[in-house]
Amino acid sequence: MRKQGETPKRNRTEQIKFWATPEEKDLILKKMELYGTSNMGAYLRKMAIDGYVIKLELPELKEMIRLLGIANNNINQIARSLNSTGRIYETDIQEIRDRIDGLYDYARKILDSLAKIP
């Protein structure tokens, strides 16, 4: 039993500090208010221990970006050709359509992957 005026022993002996912008601090305070707590230490400890960070590794997204670059190059080449010759070929248009269809496929795969995240 503790004597009167005696400081209680801490079971948490390690202090952790971090810096935040005023905007980040305001956001933390707003989230604390939403969760009904005013104890920042308890809130931050709970979030650090029980919270989670989602790291997305979506190879489909990388492939989609690559296909976007290819489609962009094709469109630029067709535009240059059209400007210089005044003609556009059906094969060029079909190639762009095929690339766009591929992009839609990858977008669907990405959305399916994101939907599986709890």
Name residue, tokens 């810096």: 19
Written in H, E and C, the secondary structure of 32-83 is HHHCCCCCHHHHHHHHHHHCCCCCCCCHHHHHHHHHHHHHHHHHHHHHHHHH
Cα(58)–Cα(106) distance, rounded to whole angstroms? 10
- For 64-92, what is each residue's pLDDT tens digit? 888 888 888 888 988 888 889 888 888 88
- For 30-71, what is each residue's pLDDT tens digit? 999 988 999 999 999 999 998 876 777 778 888 888 888 888
| Helix and strand numbers, DSSP H then E, in the chain | 4, 0
Q: What is the pTM of this model?
A: 0.46
